[in-house]
Every structure is written in structure tokens, then in C-alpha cells.
């Protein structure tokens, strides 16, 4: 360990002497992209390994009831790993990364490098109805944060490397480097200068080259556009946009309803048992919900809905379009329920892929419905653009949705309907659901990173570092003489907090208020603290944000505000001058 520290120190010294900051960031971005790509490949291959062993050899060749059993086994294994091996909660990948950026200056716990790699493939490989994009981003972000700490880069560069990791994970997953860059900027709302695009490009290219090296040209799903956009179909695309917009609202609302329902269980064991049984029964009744769902997307892109529904254990007329439409709608509507129930049971995964699955189904269903009434639209195009609508709405990422589908199709022939559907779907969802699933909890706590630099800086500040405690407190019963001898003469501050015997804050004494009688000794034993005490607005520790504290300073006109806990216990004071100084330091730190 000592040798490694010495070696690292020599490397850093050599770097400072011979390599510019910009060049070093370029090197680190390539490294982060490579590692994020490698982490994504490990996640995918482990998942495919479990699927190959379980689904291929047991469910299809042995017994159908394993659709019920395998998800329960997988979720139980994940629970055991988290409780006895990791001994920590993992959380949702992108949400926890957003929290680390907003509240921890991009410092991510290093166990998250391997936590998702251990648990996400088991969740998805054993049939959990989730995706791997979130865990891939979580793993990459933890790697990016770890490398930034290893090489002692500043906060701004650490944020950039986390964005590089997110771009790398996305590029490796879908082999879509441009969409990956937009995803990193759009989801994390990072305030990136134009020069920062080069590290993002390098990371994205590094990750995708890694993917090509190990997997060749294989992609999760790919399609070549056979029918280009026709202006006569514009009304149908408007209808698709509205359809996917309200479907996105449904997706988001049902997610929180199910999560809140299972959160009512006090004991983790009860929550695990009932949610595992629920997901097992759901997959037993509707097997197409088993696993990530890429086969559904690929079959629908090939206009083979019957193949997408082949796992259903029910006899139905594959040539009856209305039967196919109804069955596809059932799978689409239940996808979000299956995904959320998997999360409620403690499964580790992401919402990105389930969003694509549901979007592809809804787009295909609408195209089939339109064609059934005698019109003629491309089912493949509607399948693709349905994915765009759901991504734009559920993830609140319209640009990512547009460019991902454009890159997957290898061209921009559908750019007009892509933009139309993404914009309308996003606008509808935004009206009803103000934040994405990734960000809603952070937004409720006022900790969500946005493109507002001023709010971001205040959000990243830590109140603990600017609390001042060198104030002498006094009690309510003290006489004027006691106040002068025990507090005023021994303090270099002009404020004295008044506390009771339980250390609860009651008010303040200002030196300016007692100054007029300092030389009238006759009043020293007649007056008490109560005669001079005045109330003061307080700051609630761990509840009031920096933005709210700034507002309290503005409204009160005070230069110092007392800080108390929620139960009224006194902690200290915060001064306006120190707060503004800390704000300026943080601003320089994150924007330099």
C-alpha cells in the first residue's frame, strides 16, 4: 500500500510538470469511457449467461412454472447479497448518481462499482422485468468518481468524468455515441462548456470501441428504415404523440402508486415476500414480461407480433389483428407494473429499457389499429417513434429520445416525426408530472441539479461547514449584572442566544439593545434577560436549504441567524458574510 501511494505520488508530480490540465482530462475521459464500457459489457454478459442457463434449458425444455419460481429465487439472492455481503442499500443507479452530484460534490461510494454488477444481472437474468441501463450508469459513475479522487482532480472535473462515464455506459449499451453524449448532458443537467464536449466525445468513442472489440457489430436492436416519412401521415403522428404522452403520465403515476403501496410494509421480509409473489404470478400469467424485453422490441420491428407474443400460454388466433392488438396492449400496460413490482421487491435495475419496451408496443398497437381501419402506415416506423415518445415523456429527455432512435435506424429520415412526437409527449407529461422518476424525490427535497447555475451552487453547499458556535449563551432568569459579567465581558460577539435548561432556543440578546444602560449600575439588579430578549427567525438544520436561508436573510435584514434542530435545540449561528463567502468559493470550485 505504501509503495502504491509513493508510485501514485510520483505519477502526480510527473503529471503536474509535464502534462497540462486539459490533456490530463482527455486521458482520464478515455480511461473512464473504457472502464464504463467494460462495466456495461460485464453486466450484459452476466445477464445473458443467467438467461441462457435458466430460460433456455429449463423453462422451455422442462417446465413452464419456472416463470413463477425464477424471479422469486433471483430477488431472494439479491436480498441476501445486499444484506449479508454488501450490507448496504444500492438504490436506483441514475437517481443515486444525481444525488451524489447535488449533495456530495460527485463523491460516490466505491462499493457501487461492483454492487450493481453483482445484483442487476441476477435480477434481470432470473426474470426481473427491469433494464440494465441504470446499473450500467451507476457502475460507470462510481468508476469515474473513484478515478477523479485517485488523481485529485477538482470538483468540476469530477462532475465531467461522471458525465463521461454515463455517456460511456450509454454508448456501450446501444452503440449510439451521439445519443450517449446528449443523454449525459440532459439527464444530469450538467453546466458544460463547449470545451467539455471533447472529453465526452472521447469517453463515448472509447466505450463504443470497447464494445466493438468484445462484441463486434452486434447491437441490442437494429433496424433499417424501409418506409420514409410521408407528410400525409402527420395527423397520425400527432395522435401517436398524444397517445405516448398520456401513456408516459400513466407510467410515472403507476410507478409511484406501487412503490408507495409496498413501502407501507414495515418489515423488509414482508415486503420482499408479497412483492416477490406478485411479480412471480404476473410473469406466470404474462410470460412476455419476463426479463428485459428486447425480444419484444426486435420482433415488433420485424412486424412479427405473433413471435413477440409466442410465450403467452393461451391459444389465440394470430391472424386476428384485434386479438393481437388487445394482447399487445395488455403486455404494454402491465410492463410498468412488472418493473415497479420488481423494484419494490428489492430488485436492482433501471427504467430505461422497460420504457423502450412499452413505447415499442404502444407505437405498434396504434399502427395496427390505424391500418385495421383501412389506412396504411408503417408499423416499424410507429414502433420506433413510440419508443421516442415514451422516452421523452417518462425520462424527461426528448433530445436523447430523438437522437437514440435516429442513430439506431442509421439515418435521419424520420427526424420530423421524431421531433414532433418527442416534443408533444414531453410537454404533456411535464404538465402532469413535473419531474422524471429519476429526479422526483430529489426535486421534492430541493436537491435536484438543473441548468440554473445559481441554484446548483447553493444546493451543493454544506451548511455544516459554515456554522459558527463561538457564541456565549445566557438563560432567561439572568440579571443584567450576571449577563454583563458572564457573557458580555467574555465574548467578542454582539449576539447572545437565550436558552432554557434543555438547550432549546428562546430568543436573542443584542449588545446594541443593552448599550444605553451599560453605565447605569442602579439597574443591574433590577433588569433581567427577559427585559431585553427579542425573537429571531431561525434556520432549521437539515431542513432549510441554502436558498431558503438566503431568503430568510433577505426578509429579516439580519446579519446572523440562529440554527436549531427540528425540536428547537440550539446548534449555533450562521452569518450572512460567511455564507456569501462560502457561496463564492463553491461557485469558483464548480465552474472553474
Q: Are residues 46 and 72 in the same domain?
A: yes
Read off the CATH number of the domain in which 517 is found. 3.10.580.10
Q: At 77, is the pLDDT very low, low, confident or very high (cuts 50, 70, 90)?
A: very high
Does residue 46 lie within any of the structural domains?
yes
Q: Are residues 415 and 492 in the same domain?
A: no
Sign of the C-alpha dihedral computed for residues 151, 157, 163 and 167 taken in this order = negative
Q: What is the mean pLDDT of the chain?
A: 86
- Cβ burial of 501 (10 Å; 0-12, 13-18, 19+) is exposed
Residue 381: the pLDDT is 92
Q: Are residues 187 and 43 in the same domain?
A: yes
How many other CB atoms are there within 10 angstroms of residue 207's CB atom?
Answer: 35
Residue with cell 386476428: 320
Residue 2: the pLDDT is 44
Phi and psi at residue 289, to the nearest 5°: -80, -10
- Which run of H or E residues covers position 94? helix 93-103
Helices (H), 450-575: 453-460, 480-486, 511-514, 546-556
Q: Are residues 352 and 438 in the same domain?
A: yes
Cα Rg of the chain, angstroms: 29
Q: Are residues 205 and 241 in the same domain?
A: no
Q: Are residues 117 and 186 in the same domain?
A: yes
Residue 589: the pLDDT is 67
Read off the CATH number of the domain in which 44 is found. 1.10.3080.10
DSSP β-ladder status, 539-540 and 474-475? unpaired
Domain boundary residue, one of 430, 456, 482: 456
For the cut 70, the answer to whether the pLDDT of residue 352 exceeds it is: yes
Residue 531: the pLDDT is 86
Domain boundary residue, one of 150, 185, 215: 215
Q: Are residues 446 and 465 in the same domain?
A: no
Q: Are residues 290 and 415 in the same domain?
A: yes
Residue with cell 430460460: 55
Q: Are residues 29 and 125 in the same domain?
A: yes
Ramachandran area for residue 542 (φ above 0: left; ψ -120 to 50: alpha; else beta)? left
Does residue 223 lie within any of the structural domains?
no
Distance (Å, whole) CA 131 – CA 305: 21
Q: Are residues 486 and 535 in the same domain?
A: yes
DSSP β-ladder status, 570-575 and 560-564? antiparallel
- Find residue 219's DSSP bridge partners: none
Q: Are 537 and 559 in contact (CB under 8 A)?
A: no
Distance (Å, whole) CA 83 – CA 399: 39
Full domain range(s) for residue 41: 2-215
DSSP 8-state code for residue 216: T
Q: Are residues 197 and 297 in the same domain?
A: no
DSSP 8-state code for residue 565: -
Give pLDDT tens digits for 80-108. Answer: 999 888 888 787 777 778 877 777 777 88
Ramachandran area for residue 127 (φ above 0: left; ψ -120 to 50: alpha; else beta)? left
Does residue 316 lie within any of the structural domains?
yes
- State the Cα angle at 228 between 225 and 232, rounded to 5°: 145
Residue with cell 437539515: 542
For the cut 80, the answer to whether the pLDDT of residue 322 exceeds it is: yes
Does residue 225 lie within any of the structural domains?
no
* Mean pLDDT confidence for 309-333: 90
* Mean pLDDT confidence for 500-527: 85
Does residue 529 lie within any of the structural domains?
yes
Residues 6+ away with beta carbon under 8 Å from 345: 75, 262, 271, 272, 275, 276, 278, 279
Lowest mean pLDDT segment, chosen from 49-53, 263-267, 515-519:
515-519
Q: Are residues 439 and 473 in the same domain?
A: no
Q: In what order do the strands lie in the sheet with 495-499?
A: 474-475, 495-499, 505-510
Q: How many domains does the chain have?
A: 3
Residue 123: the pLDDT is 93
What percentage of the chain reaches a pLDDT higher than 70? 91
- Find residue 475's DSSP bridge partners: 499
Give pLDDT tens digits for 503-515. Answer: 999 999 888 888 8
Lowest mean pLDDT segment, chosen from 158-167, 218-227, 261-270, 415-424:
218-227
- Rounded to 10 degrees, the C-alpha dihedral 183/186/187/189 comes to 140
Domain boundary residue, one of 180, 215, 250: 215
Phi and psi at residue 351, to the nearest 5°: -100, -5
Distance (Å, whole) CA 147 – CA 125: 30
Q: Are 484 and 524 in contact (CB under 8 A)?
A: yes
For the cut 90, the answer to whether the pLDDT of residue 238 exceeds it is: yes
Give pLDDT tens digits for 571-580. Answer: 999 998 888 8
For residue 509, the number of C-alpha atoms closer than 13 Å in the C-beta half-sphere is 28
- The grid cell for 480 is 443584567
Amino acid at each position: 500500500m505504501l509503495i502504491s501511494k509513493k508510485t501514485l505520488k510520483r505519477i502526480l508530480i510527473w503529471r503536474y510538470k509535464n502534462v497540462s490540465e486539459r490533456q490530463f482530462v482527455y486521458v482520464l475521459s478515455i480511461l473512464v469511457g473504457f472502464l464504463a464500457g467494460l462495466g456495461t459489457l460485464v453486466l450484459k454478459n452476466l445477464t445473458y449467461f443467467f438467461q441462457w442457463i435458466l430460460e433456455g434449458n429449463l423453462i422451455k425444455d422442462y417446465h413452464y412454472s419456472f416463470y413463477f419460481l425464477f424471479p422469486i429465487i433471483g430477488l431472494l439472492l439479491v436480498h441476501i447479497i445486499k444484506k449479508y455481503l454488501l450490507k448496504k442499500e444500492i438504490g436506483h443507479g441514475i437517481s443515486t448518481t444525481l444525488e451524489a452530484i447535488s449533495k456530495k460534490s460527485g463523491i460516490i461510494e466505491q462499493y457501487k462499482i461492483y454492487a450493481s454488477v453483482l445484483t442487476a444481472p441476477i435480477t434481470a437474468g432470473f426474470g426481473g422485468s427491469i433494464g440494465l441501463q441504470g446499473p450500467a450508469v451507476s457502475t460507470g459513475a462510481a468508476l469515474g468518481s473513484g478515478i477523479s479522487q485517485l488523481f485529485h482532480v477538482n470538483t468540476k472535473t469530477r462532475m465531467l468524468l461522471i458525465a463521461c462515464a454515463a455517456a460511456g455506459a450509454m454508448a456501450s449499451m446501444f452503440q449510439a455515441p451521439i445519443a450517449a453524449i446528449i443523454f449525459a448532458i440532459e439527464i444530469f443537467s450538467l453546466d458544460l462548456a463547449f470545451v467539455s464536449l471533447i472529453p465526452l466525445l472521447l469517453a463515448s468513442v472509447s466505450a463504443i470501441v470497447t464494445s466493438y472489440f468484445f462484441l463486434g457489430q452486434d447491437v441490442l436492436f437494429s433496424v433499417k428504415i424501409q418506409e420514409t416519412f410521408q407528410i400525409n401521415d402527420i395527423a397520425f403522428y400527432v395522435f401517436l404523440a398524444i397517445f405516448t404522452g398520456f401513456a408516459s403520465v400513466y407510467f410515472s403515476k403507476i410507478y409511484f402508486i406501487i412503490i408507495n403501496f409496498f413501502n407501507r410494509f414495515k418489515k423488509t421480509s414482508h415486503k420482499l415476500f408479497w412483492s416477490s409473489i406478485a411479480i412471480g404470478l404476473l410473469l406466470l400469467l404474462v410470460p412476455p414480461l419476463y426479463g428485459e424485453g428486447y425480444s419484444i422490441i426486435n420482433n415488433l420491428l420485424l412486424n412479427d407480433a405473433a413471435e413477440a407474443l409466442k410465450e403467452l400460454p393461451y391459444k389465440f388466433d394470430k391472424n386476428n389483428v384485434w386479438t393481437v392488438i388487445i394482447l399487445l396492449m395488455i403486455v404494454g400496460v402491465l410492463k410498468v407494473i412488472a418493473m415497479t413490482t420488481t423494484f419494490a421487491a428489492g430488485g436492482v435495475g433501471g427504467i430505461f429499457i422497460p420504457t423502450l419496451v412499452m413505447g415499442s408496443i404502444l407505437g405498434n398497437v396504434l399502427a395496427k389499429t390505424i391500418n385495421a381501419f383501412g389506412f396504411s402506415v408503417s408499423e416499424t416506423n410507429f414502433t420506433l417513434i413510440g419508443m421516442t415518445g415514451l422516452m421523452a415523456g417518462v425520462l424527461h429527455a426528448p433530445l436523447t429520445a430523438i437522437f437514440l432512435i435516429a442513430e439506431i435506424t442509421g439515418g435521419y429520415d424520420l427526424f420530423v416525426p421524431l421531433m414532433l412526437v418527442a416534443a408533444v409527449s414531453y410537454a404533456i407529461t411535464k404538465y402532469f408530472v413535473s419531474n422524471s422518476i429519476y429526479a422526483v424525490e430529489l426535486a421534492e427535497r430541493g436537491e435536484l441539479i438543473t441548468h440554473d447555475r445559481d441554484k446548483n451552487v447553493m444546493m451543493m453547499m454544506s451548511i455544516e461547514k459554515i456554522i459558527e458556535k463561538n457564541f456565549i449563551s445566557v438563560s432567561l432568569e439572568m440579571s443584567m449584572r450576571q449577563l454583563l459579567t458572564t457573557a458580555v465581558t467574555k465574548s467578542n460577539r454582539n449576539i447572545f442566544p437565550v436558552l432554557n435548561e434543555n438547550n432549546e432556543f428562546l430568543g436573542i440578546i443584542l449588545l446594541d439593545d443593552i448599550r444605553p444602560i451599560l453605565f447605569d449600575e442602579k439597574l443591574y439588579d433590577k433588569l433581567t434577560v427577559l427585559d431585553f430578549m427579542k425573537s429571531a427567525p431561525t434556520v432549521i438544520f437539515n431542513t432549510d436549504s441554502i436558498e431558503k436561508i438566503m431568503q430568510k436573510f433577505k426578509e429579516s435584514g439580519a446579519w446572523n441567524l440562529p440554527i436549531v434542530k427540528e425540536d428547537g435545540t440550539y446548534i449555533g449561528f450562521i452569518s450572512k458574510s460567511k455564507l456569501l463567502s462560502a457561496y463564492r468559493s463553491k461557485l469558483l470550485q464548480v465552474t472553474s
